[in-house]
Structures are given as structure tokens and as C-alpha cells.
């Protein structure tokens, strides 16, 4: 099968096409014929070696953990799936392997793709969707009427955090770029502010849900209630000096039940998940350059 792998840490040019044997189907797994792999901001960071100290790579390495495709082969002990079923999943973030024609998925993590949802859109959901929803529903757990600041609110994580916060009748303040203001309002923000240029003069935030990090977010974190909290998923840290609360770093975890609910919500049109561009697998390096540049307005997908 064709894969995109890298033999060393480095720039996008270390990604190259290679061939590997098909993965052998193990008990409890299904082999997926990959149709779409989501490119997350973490992928170029992993490729550069940003996480080497905590999770060093063994080379050659196949990146990618958001995947959608069809069931091709079913391992011993697996029930509830048939060959050809469209499914999607978030792979183990330490094992990865989505930039490939085939990948093994634990059956417990494979989620049916609802009718009407494309492979590309399904592959755009897992990491951003689960992270955003978990930040609201498991970490902050705001009450109706709470004022919550969400940074990067129109991004992949941010829009799902907005979705979850809206369902809790939270008053959302979205910190975005000027060009993203209208979209943030459409996603449910009561007010917007432009990160880095606007201060905040309204009531103190109960929670900060951060997907951007850095000094501009740190400045906003000063406007937080004594009984508030700051949750961040961003790899750019928030300097805690001068803040009343230490930002808590959130790590996404598997939740196939919630993933199925998110897919249903997207299929039902309750939430739009934009796909900015689909590129062939062989153009993974170009996909990484796009993600590193930012400003795409949606997910970059590798299509097979
Ligand atoms: N800890 C975890 O488990 C976990 C899970 C998922 C993601 N993450 C991290 O969370 C962060 C967000 O991920 P994502 O998938 O949501 O990325 P994304 O889809 O690119 O969204 C990020 C959003 O923030 C905006 N943004 C970035 N810098 C900004 C700035 N200085 N001012 C205003 N807006 C800014 C981006 O706008 P532009 O596109 O215009 O730059 C984009 O709308 C990344 O650092 C990612 O690695 C962590």
C-alpha cells in the first residue's frame, strides 16, 4: 500500500511517498480503506520534532490520526461492522498512521459515518470536535448564563467548543481575527473581540477556553472571576505570571459515543465543519505547508 512517511524530523520536504505491506488485521480491529485523512496543526509540529522529548518518534513514521474510509477487513471478535461500511475515527495519537491507503482501527473507536456526510467532512471532525466539546463538557462545565471567552473560536477546536457552549446557554465572547468576526457571530458568539487589538471591558469571564495561547490570550485571562478557570489546548503556552489562575492544559481523549453524536449533529446541519481544501495523498508536504501557514478557514484533507 502507498503511505506518506518521514525518515527524520524536519520541514515538509521530509514527507515522501513509500510502499508498505498491508497491516495485518488483529483481534478487535478493522482494516480501513482510507478515503480521507485530516491534517491537524499537531501533524507539522510532530514532523518538526516538537514533541520529541515527551514522545520520540521511531522512524520511518506515518503521521495522521483523523481518518475516514470504508471497512475493508474485519478482525476476529469484531461484531457490528460489515465490509464496505463507511466509518471514521480518531486513531491513537501516539501510533497514528492515517496518511496511508489502509490503516488498522480498534473497532471500539470506529464510528459509522451518517448518511449525507462526506469522507472529507468526517475526517475533519475527530480531534477538533472531541477537544472542543471535552473542554466545555468535561473541563469547564459552564452553567447557563456564564460568560465564557473562547479564543480561536472559528477554528477546528474553537467551533466545537462554541457548539457545546451554545447548547448550555452560555454567553460566549469569541476572540478571533477581524476577518472571522461575522463567522463567530453566526456560530453563536454574543460578542467578539479581535485578539491582540481589543481589550475587554465587560463582565469578568467565568471560564477561558483557549485554542491560541500566547501573550494576547494571557492579557485577556486577567479578566477572570475569582472562582473561574482557564483551560487551554494550545501548544503555545499562556504565561501564568500575574494571573489569578494557572491555565490547565487539556489533552483530547477517545470517546466514540461523543464522536457519533458530533457526526450526527454535523450531518443534521446543526454545525458546519468547513473543509478548506482536499489534496491527493502524494501532496502531503503541500498540505503541511498550508496548515503551517494558517488562515485556511477550514480543514486541510488528504484524499485517497
Ligand atoms: N491539547 C490537545 O489535545 C489538542 C487537540 C487539538 C488541537 N490542539 C491544539 O489547539 C490549537 C488549535 O487547533 P485547531 O485544530 O483548532 O487549529 P485551527 O483549526 O487552525 O484553529 C485555530 C484558530 O485560531 C486562529 N488563530 C491562530 N492564531 C491567532 C491569533 N494570534 N489571533 C487570532 N486568531 C488566531 C486561527 O486563525 P487563522 O487560521 O487565521 O490563523 C484559527 O481560526 C493548536 O495549537 C493545536 O495544536 C491541541
List the pLDDT tens digit at each of the 304 positions of the chain. Answer: 999 999 999 999 999 999 999 999 999 999 999 999 999 999 999 999 999 999 999 999 999 999 999 999 999 999 999 999 999 999 998 889 999 999 999 999 999 999 999 999 999 999 999 999 999 999 999 999 999 999 999 999 999 999 999 999 999 999 999 999 999 999 999 999 999 998 899 999 999 999 999 999 999 999 999 999 999 999 999 999 999 999 999 999 999 999 999 999 999 999 999 999 999 999 999 999 999 999 999 999 999 9
Any residues with CB less than 8 A from the CB of 16 and at least 6 apart, and which?
4, 5, 6, 7
Q: Is the CB of 154 under 6 A from ligand 1?
A: yes
Q: What are the boundaries of each domain within the chain? A: 2-124+274-303, 128-249
- Cα dihedral sign for 189, 194, 195, 200? negative
Any residues with CB less than 8 A from the CB of 200 and at least 6 apart, and which?
149, 173, 193, 220, 223
Mention the CATH class of domain 128-249.
alpha beta
pLDDT at 49: 97
- Cα 233 vs. chain centroid, distance in angstroms? 10
Q: Which of 149, 211, 295 to mutate to test the pocket of ligand 1 (most atoms within 8 A of CB)?
A: 211
pLDDT at 198: 83
- Compute the distance between CA of residue 302 and CA of residue 283 in angstroms, rounded to an integer: 8
pLDDT at 94: 86
- Compute the distance between CA of residue 115 and CA of residue 111 in angstroms, rounded to an integer: 13
Q: Is the CB of 155 under 6 A from ligand 1?
A: yes
- Predicted TM-score (pTM) above 0.75: yes
List the beta strands (DSSP E) in 47-194: 66-74, 86-90, 102-106, 111-112, 147-151, 171-176, 191-194
Distance 105 CA to ligand 1 centre (A): 26
Angle at CA 225, nearest 5°, toward 247 and 204?
Answer: 110
Instruction: Give the Å distances, CA to CA, from 95 to 57, 58, 141, 177, 196.
Output: 10, 10, 30, 34, 36
The topology under which CATH files domain 2-124+274-303 is Quinone Oxidoreductase; Chain A, domain 1 (3.90.180)
Protein residue with least CA distance to atom 42, ligand 1: 155
Q: Is the CB of 29 under 6 A from ligand 1?
A: no
Residue 9: name the closest of 42, 82, 58, 54 by CA. 58
pLDDT at 47: 98
Protein residue with least CA distance to atom 29, ligand 1: 212
Amino acid at each position: 500500500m502507498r503511505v506518506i512517511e518521514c525518515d527524520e524530523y524536519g520541514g515538509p520536504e521530509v514527507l515522501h511517498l513509500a510502499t508498505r505491506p498491508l497491516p495485518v488485521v488483529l483481534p478487535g480491529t478493522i482494516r480501513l480503506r482510507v478515503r480521507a485523512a485530516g491534517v491537524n496543526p499537531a501533524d507539522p509540529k510532530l514532523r518538526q520534532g516538537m514533541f520529541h522529548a515527551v514522545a520520540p518518534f521511531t522512524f520511518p513514521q506515518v503521521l495522521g490520526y483523523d481518518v475516514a474510509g470504508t471497512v475493508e477487513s474485519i478482525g476476529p471478535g469484531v461484531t457490528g461492522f460489515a465490509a464496505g461500511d463507511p466509518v471514521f475515527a480518531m486513531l491513537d495519537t501516539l501510533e497514528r498512521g492515517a496518511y496511508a491507503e489502509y490503516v488498522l482501527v480498534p473497532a471500539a473507536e470506529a464510528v459509522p459515518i451518517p448518511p449525507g456526510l462526506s469522507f472529507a467532512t468526517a475526517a475533519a471532525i475527530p480531534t477538533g470536535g472531541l477537544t472542543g466539546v471535552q473542554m466545555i463538557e468535561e473541563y469547564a462545565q459552564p452553567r447557563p448564563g456564564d460568560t465564557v471567552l473562547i479564543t480561536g473560536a472559528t477554528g477546528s477546536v474553537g467551533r466545537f467548543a462554541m457548539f457545546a457552549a451554545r447548547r448550555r446557554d452560555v454567553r460566549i465572547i469569541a476572540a478571533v481575527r477581524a476577518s472571522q468576526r461575522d463567522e463567530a457571530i453566526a456560530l453563536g458568539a454574543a460578542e467578539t473581540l479581535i485578539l491582540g487589538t481589543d481589550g475587554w471591558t465587560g463582565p469578568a469571564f467565568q471560564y477561558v477556553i483557549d485554542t491560541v495561547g500566547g501573550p494576547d490570550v494571557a492579557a485577556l485571562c486577567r479578566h477572570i472571576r475569582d472562582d473561574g478557570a482557564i483551560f487551554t489546548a494550545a501548544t503555545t503556552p499562556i504565561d501564568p505570571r500575574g494571573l489569578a489562575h494557572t491555565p490547565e492544559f487539556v489533552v483530547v481523549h477517545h470517546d466514540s459515543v461523543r464522536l457519533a453524536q458530533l457526526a450526527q449533529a454535523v450531518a443534521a446541519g446543526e454545525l458546519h465543519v468547513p473543509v478548506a481544501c482536499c489534496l491527493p495523498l502524494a501532496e502531503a508536504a503541500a498540505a503541511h505547508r498550508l496548515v503551517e501557514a494558517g488562515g485556511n478557514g477550514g480543514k486541510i484533507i488528504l484524499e485517497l
